[in-house]
Amino acid sequence: MQSSEHLLEMREITKAYAGFRVLDRLSLNLRRNEIMSIVGQNGAGKSTLMKILCGAIPFDSGEILLNNRPIRPKDPHHAEELGISMVYQEGGLIPDLRVYEYLFLGNEDRFGRSLQRKKMKEDAKGILDYLHIAADPDTYLRDLSAATAKMMEVARSFSTIEIAEKSGSQKTTPIIILDEPTAALSLEEKQSLFKRLEEMRSRATFLFISHVTSEVLRVSDRVCVLRDGKKVGSFDLHDTHLTEEALHQLIVGKVRGEDYYSTKLSKFQEAVNKEAVLRVNNLSKERLYQGVTFDVHKGEILGLYGTLGSGKTEIGKTIAGILKQDEGYIEKDGKRLELSSLSERAESGIGYLSGSHEEQLFPLWSISRNISLPSLDRMLSTFFRVIGFLDPSKEDELAKVMVKKLDVKPPDIGKPSGELSGGNKQKIVLARWLAKNTDVLILVNPTAGVDVGTREELYELFREMAGEGRCLVLISDDLDEVIGLSDRILAIEYGRISKSFGEEDIRKLREKEGAVAL
């Protein structure tokens, strides 16, 4: 067989958990010495793909060819023998080690029982030179810049692969998987990391995972977009000009055909009067967002839109009390809210709903209890209220009403919430806040991972809730969703409000149907 241009080929890889396909016949190939980016939303299958490649989990069907020979990584060590190593998003570094100690951590045996430090340092220097990393092997990791430290993790992957291969047989171009390497880096550090990655490209093939579209476009040779476990497409950036916005749309996908734009605007617009319920004043947080000021009125759905990494999510989390702002304040009904106190927010009527229900629900608890949890004060038993006894029948009563109102399927309030589908889990979290009479809801990607049908139901519920006079702050990566639901949209760019779209603008946007105009 002649050598193919592909270093690695994945053919129709499928992986399912409990019948649910997280990877669906995914085919992907890697060339030698390229930087290939894998992008996609949470749950698109990126991390499953990575874990399969580095041997952390097995795959169900399909095959992986490395240099035209089928492989099946059994565990991370086996993957390293094959020449595949992963640099995790965080946690790989040990600040109190010196560079040379770190590079050979776990492989010290090579240097004899008494550790020939001199040899270790020489070898470390060799690796660093080979990878064009200018650093002294004697330095402590804690003294390195964040970008150089990240490079050290890459260098360690190199040394591990090299050592593993020596004990194995053949030599090949190493494949190094970088899982969101820029997550903790500042802007300058990112630039420096990218520059060095390019320099190192002649030595390895990189698989780059990132959420930030601008970085992906800047650094990669090719981009592969995943959505719902399937490949949407892969693009050679040297041939194709892909804009950030286009890539973003590929990642989140379009919600086609549904006519939620057609709902009469006036119907829920009526409820809007100019009473500001929530007032955000000059909110700033270093590196995330600056000088954000806006009001949200009664009965209004305010959309915040921006590309991934624009800071819109963090603004929402700050309003919800999860993050703490450095400057500025938030007022609700004219009352200033304390810094970062979720329980105070909940008491004053601010609820938070995000796309990741696993961080919001108690999967083993019943639907009923998951709904009543923040409202237990109203669930006290009539006779024993003094000693704080709860009356489960009151909880069930409340849950029944909510389950009916939100049409949770199945409507079995005793069922553990963990057994529900994603969309129904979202309904439970929503029910929780409705039950507490929450009048401000912060929705962050509320329909992520929800099937199209249930998604429509959720949209209907959001509109209904606004119609009842609540205010909703909708923060979503899905542009159509934002345009379709919002009464007003604020565009967020680099942590600032760059543009505001009123009723008229939105009407026009809706007419263009999903036009990418921001």
Partner 1 sequence: MRLKSEQIIIVLIVALPAIFAVLTGGRFLSTYNVSILMERFAIFMLVSLGGTFVIVMGSLDISYTGVFNLAGYMTAIYAAQYGPLAIIVGLCVGLLFGGINGLLFTKARIPSLLVTLGTLGVSQGIVNYVGGGEAMWGLPVGGRLDFLLPYIFPNLPEKGITLFAWAVAATLLCFFIARFTKFGLHTYAIGSNEEAARLAGINVDRHRTMVFVLSALLAALAGILNVPYAENATAGAASGLLFITLATIVMGGTPLSGGRGGPHRTIIGVYILVVLLDGLTMMGVGTVELQVIEGIVLILAMLSVIRGSKTTQITT
Binding site for partner 1 (CB under 8 A): 322, 341-347, 352, 359-362, 364, 369, 373-374, 376-377, 379-380, 387-390, 392, 432, 436
Among 145, 171, 154, 207, smallest CA distance to 82 is for 171
Q: 3-class SS at 342?
A: helix
Please report the sign of the dihedral spanned by the C-alpha atoms of residue 226, residue 205, residue 177, residue 146: negative
User: Which residue, 5 or 358, has its beta carbon nearer to partner 1?
Assistant: 358
Residues in the chain: 518
Q: Return all residues near 508 (Cβ < 8 A) that are at least 6 apart.
A: none
Nearest distance, CB of residue 375 and partner 1, angstroms = 9
Sign of the dihedral defined by the CA atoms of residues 195, 197, 203, 207, in that order:
negative
Which residue, 346 or 399, has its beta carbon nearer to partner 1?
346
H-state helical runs in 209-264? 213-219, 244-252
| Least distance between partner 1 and beta carbon 89 (Å) | 18
In this complex, which beta carbon is closest to partner 1, that of residue 249 or of residue 417?
Answer: 417
Pick from 326, 266, 301, 337: which is nearest to 465 by CA?
A: 301
For residues 403 and 411, the answer to whether their CB atoms sit within 8 Å is yes
Cα–Cα distances in angstroms (integers) from residue 364 to residues 153, 358, 390, 418, in the given order: 38, 11, 19, 6
Place of tokens 């519920």: 461
Is the CB of 130 or the CB of 365 nearer to partner 1? Answer: 365
Distance of CA 489 to CAs 21, 270, 447, 481, Å?
35, 18, 18, 11
Q: SS3 for 511?
A: helix
Instruction: Rank residues 158 and 352 by Cβ distance to partner 1 and give the closer one.
Output: 352
Task: Tell me whether residue 369 or residue 427 sits nearer to partner 1 (CB atom).
Answer: 369
Q: Residue 367 Cβ, how far from partner 1 at the closest point, in Å? A: 14
Q: Which residues contact 8 (CB under 8 A, 6 or more apart)?
A: 29, 30, 64, 65, 66, 175, 205
Question: What does the DSSP 8-state code read for residue 355?
Answer: S
- DSSP-derived letter for residue 509 is H
Q: Tell the smallest beta-carbon distance from residue 440 to partner 1 (Å).
A: 13
Report the nearest approach of partner 1 to the CB of residue 323 (Å).
12
Q: Which residues contact 165 (CB under 8 A, 6 or more apart)?
A: 81, 83, 171, 172
Q: Which two tokens stand for residue 103?
A: 């590079």
Residue 215 or 396 having the CB closest to partner 1: 396
Nearer to partner 1, 364 or 517 (CB): 364
Please report how close the Cβ of residue 324 comes to partner 1 at its closest, in angstroms.
13
Min separation Cβ 322 and partner 1, Å? 8
> Which H helix or E strand runs over 324?
none
Closer residue to partner 1 (CB): 65 or 380: 380
- For the bound state, the minimum distance from the C-beta of residue 115 to partner 1, rounded and expressed in Å, comes to 31
As measured in angstroms, the least distance from the Cβ of 133 to partner 1 is: 34
Indicate the residue among 187 and 342 with the shorter CB distance to partner 1: 342
Shortest distance in whole angstroms from residue 296 CB to partner 1: 20
Question: What is the sign, positive or negative, of the torsion defined by CA atoms of 280, 286, 291, 294?
Answer: negative
Q: How far is the CB of 107 from partner 1 (least distance, A)?
A: 26
Q: Phi/psi of residue 407, each to 5°?
A: 55, 55
If 0-12 CB within 10 Å is exposed, 13-18 middle and 19+ buried, where does residue 19 land? Answer: exposed
Query: CA quadruple 484, 489, 493, 499: dihedral positive or negative?
Result: positive
Residue closer to partner 1 by CB (options 173, 325) is 325
Cβ(499)–Cβ(506) below 8 Å? no
